[in-house]
Amino acid sequence: MIITAVKKKTILLSLLLVFIFLATIISPAAIYTVAKKDDEKKDYIKWVDFSPTFEALDATLSLDIKTHTEEGQTPISWIDVLAYLAAKYGGDFSHFKKSDLAKLTETLEKQNTTIDELGKDLKTYNYFKEAYGAVLNGFVGDYTIEVPDPDNPEQTVMEKRYGLRVFSPIAKGYSYSHFDDFGASRSYGYKRKHLGHDMMGSVGTPIIAIESGIVECIGWNQYGGWRIGIRSFDKKRYYYYAHLRKDHPYNDMYEGKIVTAGDVIGYLGMTGYSTKENVNNINTPHLHYGLQLIFNEETQKDGTNQIWINLYAITKLLEKNKSAVYRDDKEYYRKYEMFIDETEE
């Protein structure tokens, strides 16, 4: 069929009029909504059930350190091992046996292969590797730390090490008690689940930065009282420390400050459960600390799709590394400095 020039102009004019009409009835908000829905379809992790037991964390950490520090060993990442075992166990580490770890290392050596190669046929291996990596990246690696000089105990020297470079949130020399209370019921304000870990101790106990990062929020929250939020440098982990001490909750903390793992950031207390600032409304002095994972900034940081993990096993693991402190006037400070080259991460 031959279309004349007149007909072509008529068709083009009709299409233009249709476009103008649609533009008047479809608002920018509607277009934004469509775009937002498309964005929400992007694939990212929306839930993590971090279930490795202390025994599994301890055994795989030891393997990681051993293979990274002993001559003739092929370095093995504890994150890869945990992901592989999780894929084999269906995420249930109640099945963990040290013999399974021994069999895995034996297979790696005999077949001269990697965990990634062994895990490629396991449907959930990549998921667990990304999820567990979000929890544990930065926990282990190279660092330089100040230690007592063996030849002169009154002096210190800097020593390069490989190993656990995150700390217990309670300073060395201070006692506490705890139990697995993740998911327990809470009722203040509204009925909800406990999405952190409580460590019962004495008012004034120095609270330690678990991992290096940037102070993202500080101040009063009616649920957490005086609290601090610190984000890891890779942006995946948000640490929340709450119920800090009345009148003197912080040690020179402010938004944007860079803190190093092992620094004293504040003091244990019992503030919170009050809309009025600086009020003790918690019955038992304790530190509530939580770890939020963030794979998507827009929907997970402050949205309804937040991911908080059970920290009971990690808390037990962190007992291996406590920050020694000293008091200067009314503040406490770390006794030994530590340096991590974040450019290596």
At 50-78, the pLDDT tens digits run 999 999 999 999 999 999 999 999 999 99
- Alpha-carbon dihedral sign for residues 314, 233, 165, 108: positive
Percentage with pLDDT > 70 across the chain: 84
Taking phi over 0 as left and psi of -120 to 50 as alpha, with beta for the rest, 225 belongs to: left
Spell out the residues 6+ positions from residue 116 whose beta carbon is closer than 8 angstroms to its own: 80
Which structure tokens are listed for 301? 């940081």
**How far is Cα 76 from Cα 63, in angstroms, rounded to an integer?**
7
Are the beta carbons of 207 and 268 closer than 8 angstroms? yes
64 DSSP 8-state letter: H
Which ranges of the chain would DSSP assign to H, the alpha helix?
5-25, 28-40, 54-69, 78-89, 98-111, 115-119, 125-136, 297-300, 312-318
Q: Which residue has the tokens 């009709």?
A: 14
Which structure tokens are listed for 45? 């992790």
At 3-45, the pLDDT tens digits run 454 454 555 555 554 444 444 444 333 323 333 444 445 689 9
- From residue 254, how far is each of 216, 217, 229, 240, 342 by CA, in Å? 8, 8, 10, 14, 21
Nearest to 206 by CA among 174, 243, 238: 174
Which structure tokens are listed for 161? 């090490």
Which structure tokens are listed for 11? 């068709």
pTM of the model: 0.85
Nearest to 230 by CA among 184, 198, 264: 264
Q: Which residue has the tokens 């007909």?
A: 7
At 236-260, the pLDDT tens digits run 999 999 999 999 999 999 999 999 9
Q: What is the pLDDT of residue 6?
A: 44
Nearest to 311 by CA among 241, 261, 226: 241
pLDDT at 144 exceeding the cut of 90: yes
**305 band by pLDDT with thresholds 50, 70 and 90:** confident
Which structure tokens are listed for 249? 């909750």
pLDDT at 292 exceeding the cut of 70: yes
Q: What is the pLDDT of residue 190?
A: 64
Q: Is 289 helix (H, G, I), strand (E, B) or coil?
A: strand
**How far is Cα 315 from Cα 61, in angstroms, rounded to an integer?**
14
Q: Rounded to the nearest 10 degrees, what angle do helices 78-89 and 98-111 cross at?
A: 110
Which ranges of 174-276 would DSSP assign to H, the alpha helix?
none
248 C-beta neighbours (distance < 10 Å), count = 14
pLDDT at 332 exceeding the cut of 50: yes
Q: What is the pLDDT of residue 31?
A: 29
204 DSSP 8-state letter: T
Mean predicted confidence (pLDDT) in 72-96: 96
